[in-house]
Structure 1
Amino acid sequence: MSSKSGQTGKSGRREPAPAPAEEVAAPPSAEPAEPAVSDDDVLGGPSPAGRDEFTDDTGRRWRKVRGPLHPRLGRRLAARADAFVIGEGAGERFRHVASGDRLPAWRAIEDRLDSPLTPSYRAFEFRSAEGMTLLYVEESC
């Protein structure tokens, strides 16, 4: 006696029929999948200031630690951070600030942090998986 659900096995119970080949899932890969990077994830996508993570124009992935920052903390990071980037045009273009130019650049924007004046700026602290610190300052027009 046969059944639609399968045949009788050694135990005397009916065993389910094997699934057709097109329904069998592929075995999981032993290698972890790389995270997908969307167009919104790199320069030209939504503002880094409004996201928890972003990939900069050099390919480094950054995770937001805190922000908007108080001006004193921003000044401290301008001097000590591994990288300082100004996101011009609401983050559409990245301007990397050289280490010797960081404090003068900070002084030029400090009085416009969270200001109603145009352009205004907001500062954020980001960290990379390697432990690097980024001071990201976004310009709003």
Structure 2
Amino acid sequence: MAMPPLLEERSPAVQMVLGAIVPASFGALVGLFLITSEPAYLVGSVLGIGGGYFAGLEHHGAADGAARGFIGGFLFGLFILTVRELTGEEEKALIPEPAAGLLVITVVFGMGLGALGGHMRARHARKHEPHVPEAPAET
């Protein structure tokens, strides 16, 4: 399986898009689903949280993947709730009460799946990338 490029190897603009704009925008879309369609909200939520795994694949290990998942999960959940509050519409799907509990869920899943993605990338690198032995120390 080919791994995506590392986030740190991408341009700052692409890093901003992938790290902040994508999860915030998708969260806003899922926020619209929350007030219009329960099935669409549920599918969008699963896809959004699952995106944490794929984002984690763009990092060297579990810790970096978890950090990315924290940010993505927070923005995703925050924008779901922002759309809900701005529209004032009633939800078509159940969310935790208080609603801020949704942030806890999206952050925890984002971090866990981001860590898993980062771990899988590190594991893949250990198996598939050539090992370069260290040069012997000069005496």
Higher relative contact order (CA 8 A, sep 6+): 2
Fold in common (TM above 0.5): no
- Determine which structure has the larger strand proportion and give its number: 1
- Determine which structure has the larger helix proportion and give its number: 2
TM-score by length of 2: 0.22
Q: Which has the larger radius of gyration?
A: 1
